[in-house]
Amino acid sequence: MAYTAHPTAVIDEGCTIGAGTRIWHFSHIMPGCEIGEGCNIGQNVVVSPGVKLGRNVKVQNNVSLYTGVECGDDVFLGPSCVFTNVTNPRSAVNRRDQYARTRVGKGASIGANATIVCGHDIGEYAFIGAGAVVTKTVPAHALVAGNPARQMGWMSEYGHRLKFDARGEAACPESGQRYQLKNDRVARIA
């Protein structure tokens, strides 16, 4: 099955779009980007050259994905979130050869209106709160919020806050999956 696109979407030649992907009103898919299978690209989204989206990525309305962004499978990008790609932009100075890469790990969620400053990766299953401004790398399973974003806890793969016991173990209330917190890292153990 091919992808589907609303008639108002602009899809440039030279991009790759996976089967089953849906692209909505007024979005612009630029050349050289790669969009995986089963993605949903909301209204008024920009996907710039070189951007890579894995399978089943959900991009909500008004999101800007600039060159250098790479998202793993099952990533959720909330409405109006933004990724930068130059740390010190100036209109009069061309820095196109200085784009920084930002990787978003599998299963991560980024809340509405969050800003991800370039060069800072988001770990697998991390959860970025709405309106957060991420200025440093976020570990896997971390819950961060605020401006600048600060870690407030840990999240399960199903998006629930984990409560660790004295042994450093926790269970997801929805899935029952078990996790261990050791040396400031969370890993699934069952």
Query: Mean pLDDT per 10-residue run, the chain (190 residues)?
Result: 94 97 98 98 98 98 97 98 94 92 98 97 98 98 98 98 97 98 95
The answer on 52 and 81 residing in a single domain is yes
Distance CA 114, CA 107 (A): 17
> Residue 67's domain spans which residues?
1-155
- Residue 1 has what pLDDT? 63
The number of distinct structural domains making up the chain is 2
pLDDT at res. 190: 83
Q: Are residues 79 and 124 in the same domain?
A: yes
pLDDT attached to residue 184: 95
7: CATH: 2.160.10.10
pLDDT, residue 86, reads 94
**94 and 130 belong to one structural domain:** yes
Cβ-proximal residues to 137 (8 Å cutoff; 6+ apart), any chain: 120, 121, 122, 123
